[in-house]
Structure 1
Amino acid sequence: MEPKWLEWAKQLQSIAQVGLTYSKDVYDLERFELIRNISVEILSQQTSVDTKVIKELFANETGYATPKVDIRAVIFRGNKILLVRENTDGNWSLPGGWGDIGLTPSEVAVKEAKEESGFDVKAIKLIGVLDKKCHPHPPSPYHVYKMFIQCEIIGGQPKEGIETNAVEFFAENELPSLSIARNTESQIQLAFKHLHNPQEPVYFD
């Protein structure tokens, strides 16, 4: 579970963002801006990151505050799962990234698989929709829903992407060091459960 200070900071940011979007009263707008600044200060104090950087990344959105969506493509070849090595931390993850405006979740999974692994795939099954805060990821400034979509290879060849530097298949008992900001060992195990039992129900939360 994420630390309480992070939960409070995200809640304050959400309240401020909605208030700044819908309030008309100049005094209310001033109060909501103050709340937003408090949320930024909490993050800055706890992480030692400059408040300007945090405001640009964490408190820069407008409109009604909603969770971000991270989509991961689950791709098997035989009894092995496809993982790509991330440039940012040198660890391994399922191909994927933020949802894109104008694309369906399955279209994002197909696009990310191609860009990060070189394979052409088609989406065949939703495995799960997970709330990132309920799983053993590092703390995140955003509230994130993670969608895992099983895909099938229909073409292409393994190829590094702009954000990745290796593409490999791994057995369930031979997993490499995982990029846990993107996917955890328990989530990879969930994917294998669906491989072994195609009737496994969709996991949520």
Structure 2
Amino acid sequence: MKPLGLILAGGQARRMGGGDKGRLALGDGTLMSQVVERLRPQVGDMALNANGDPARFDDVGLPVLADSIDGFAGPLAGVLAGLDWAASQGATSIVSAAVDTPFFPADLVARLQDAAMDMDHPLALAATPDPERGLSRHPTFGLWPVALRDDLRAALTDGLRKVVQWTDRHGAALAVFHATPFDPFFNVNTPEDLARATRLLEEMA
């Protein structure tokens, strides 16, 4: 059974002037529509993690899940919201993707599942080679087991915020992707990044 899909769209987008970054125009659509289109074939049902008035996403056609942890607790709070939703659907896992990363691999889910194949509770993050650090992990792109949602809830309640601190506790596997011809986890943080994403999309057409 395919995992459920979760698009993390709860960031504050300060470097883009605030607002919903996923609504920024890219190609014939938006950042969000590009991410939805890329993730949909790889997963079962999908949901969107975002806070505030969910009605602003009515046109997207996805359930909108708000963080259950007070304050801006970062992507782990979004993952927890996704895991609680998945549990209500009878699913055993979710795969998360960031709304500002439109070119992530088309085989993301399969590779994450392969990396975590021998784990009791499959947990894996995407990574790319880094010439200085060896491997650079991409903590908003992961396979998350519903079985660990209460452990994650407790960690967040205790104040943990960094994704890799929690995933390291559970020995998360890594699915390594190579950056050819560019880093597939390139994300849009600034207007310059958005211009680059537009150029890349035109080159791929």
Range of TM-score over shorter length: under 0.3
Q: Which has the higher strand share?
A: 1
**Taking structure 1 as the reference length, what is the TM-score of the superposition?**
0.24
